[in-house]
Amino acid sequence: MTETFCLANAQVILRDRVMTGAVAVEEGVIAGIEEGDAVPVGAVDCGGGFVAPGLIELHTDNLERHIQPRPKVDWPHNAAILAHDAELASTGITTVFDAMRVGSIPTGRGRYLAYARGLASELWALREEDALKISHFLHLRAEVCSETLEEEMAEFGPEDRVGIVSLMDHTPGQRQFRDITKLADYMKGKHALSDAEFEEHVAQLKALRDANGERHEAAAVREAARYGAVLASHDDTTEAQVETSKGYGVAMAEFPTTVEAAEASYARDIAVIMGAPNLIRGGSHSGNVAAGELARAGLLDILSSDYVPSALLLAAVKLGQDWGCMARGVSTVTAAPARAVGLRDRGEIAVGKRADLIRFDLRGGVPALRAVWSRGNRVA
């Protein structure tokens, strides 16, 4: 059952401006928008707080974190999926593209196994039971530096709601890990590898890239087209890499690591996605370009919460404050991601759109969520 309600006396964040007004919801869609501070009988008085579209998250590893909260711990999957879903709802995210890795290495020092097909099936089973609070799609992270990418991607089809396929290449010495010492710190800290074990791991990954990289990239591009998914690049660093991405038909550049790559993406009409944690922290944990630097240069289109779901709204508000336009800041987590993945029924407050809405106030300059609705249903 969907709710019928009106949020009045609010700062309504529209696509291009903020106005004082009211938003009426009926049958899960936005039925009316009125300007002014009047509070009709039966309406919720928002007291001048903000009403915005529900947030759209294109790349989050949060589900994986719930599935494996500690190394070698496999948490019950249905419980993990429901906890992940509820957590995102509590942060204002009403549409999520759950990132799942495809492409595994079942042998050697850097051993990791396939999981995406089974996890996706469990996710869709819960969706069929109407057990999920928010809207879910898949984002398949196609790891070209692997052994089994083609086999794993062949297990998915158009019925699996795969909205994004990203081309991932974590071969040491380039892209995210140009500085191999950063990768060494990460791997040794997470997996307790010795120096010799780490060197063995690096050698294995480089050998896999040499043997499979080009074939896997072609397979990922081909499979994305079969699914009807948007293609994304990941961690482009040079203009040459961006040019290759454009040749593949890439529409989104996830986390370019340099200003050069961001500028090259803009020049080729590729939307730039940066991490909200990067913006909040003031820099990349991998030593790459800061999201704030790209924002100041006008080279940032979309924010992703990446590994901190609550960072998405916080970062969007920060951008709105920094840019002097709250509508522009919020669009990086609503209208812009919706446009990038072809979701025309959401991402803005407009009559006829899905009633995915959030209500929040500012406390100490940061957003404090008051309520979240997905298709007109209160979910947080």
Q: What is the pLDDT of residues 7-49, one digit of tens each?
A: 999 999 999 999 999 999 999 999 999 999 999 999 999 999 9
Top CATH class, 55-345: alpha beta
Indicate if the pLDDT at residue 188 is higher than 60: no
> H or E segment at 207?
helix 195-227
Q: When comparing pLDDT for 16 and 170, which is higher?
A: 16
Contacts 24+ apart (CB under 8 A), 316-321: 316/55, 316/276, 317/362, 317/366, 317/367, 318/279, 318/280, 319/279, 319/295, 321/365
CB proximity list for 367: less than 8 A, separation 6 or greater: 50, 313, 314, 317, 360, 361
- The string of pLDDT tens digits covering residues 129-156 is 999 999 999 999 999 988 999 999 999 9
- DSSP assignment letter at 174: S
- DSSP assignment letter at 171: -
Contact 31, 24 (CB under 8 A): yes
- The string of pLDDT tens digits covering residues 323-369 is 999 999 999 999 999 999 999 999 999 999 999 999 999 999 999 99
Percent of the chain scoring above 90 in pLDDT? 82
Contact 93, 136 (CB under 8 A): no
Indicate if the pLDDT at residue 53 is higher than 60: yes
- The string of pLDDT tens digits covering residues 225-260 is 999 999 999 999 999 999 999 999 999 999 999 999
> H or E segment at 284?
none
Cβ count near 306 (within 10 Å)? 24
Spatial distance between the Cα atoms of 304 and 333, rounded to a whole number of angstroms: 7
Cβ count near 203 (within 10 Å)? 14
User: Which regions of the chain carry the CATH code 3.20.20.140?
Assistant: 55-345
Q: Averaged over 257-271, what is the pLDDT?
A: 97
User: Which regions of the chain carry the CATH code 2.30.40.10?
Assistant: 1-53+346-380
pLDDT range class, residue 186, cuts 50, 70, 90: low
Q: What pLDDT score does 177 carry?
A: 63
CB proximity list for 379: less than 8 A, separation 6 or greater: 89, 94, 133, 134, 372, 373
Spatial distance between the Cα atoms of 151 and 116, rounded to a whole number of angstroms: 12
Q: What pLDDT score does 270 carry?
A: 98
Q: Nearest CA to 216 among 141, 163, 160, 157?
A: 141
Least confident among 20-24, 110-114, 201-205, 353-357:
201-205
Q: Report how far apart the first and last C-alpha atoms of the chain are (Å, whole number).
A: 16
Indicate if the pLDDT at residue 189 is higher than 60: no
Q: What pLDDT score does 107 carry?
A: 79
CA distances from 220 to 88, 225, 295, 358, 368 (A): 28, 9, 30, 36, 40
Q: Does domain 1-53+346-380 have CATH number 2.30.40.10?
A: yes
Indicate if the pLDDT at residue 173 is higher than 60: no
Beta strands in the chain (DSSP E): 5-13, 18-26, 29-35, 44-45, 50-53, 55-60, 93-102, 135-143, 162-168, 230-234, 252-254, 271-275, 302-304, 357-363, 366-374, 377-378
Spatial distance between the Cα atoms of 103 and 87, rounded to a whole number of angstroms: 27
Q: When comparing pLDDT for 186 and 119, which is higher?
A: 119
Q: When comparing pLDDT for 280 and 283, which is higher?
A: 280
Q: What pLDDT score does 3 carry?
A: 78
Cβ count near 99 (within 10 Å)? 24
Q: Average per-residue pLDDT in the chain? A: 92
Q: What pLDDT score does 202 carry?
A: 72
Spatial distance between the Cα atoms of 239 and 28, rounded to a whole number of angstroms: 44
Q: What pLDDT score does 172 carry?
A: 66
Least confident among 41-50, 123-132, 190-199, 203-212:
190-199
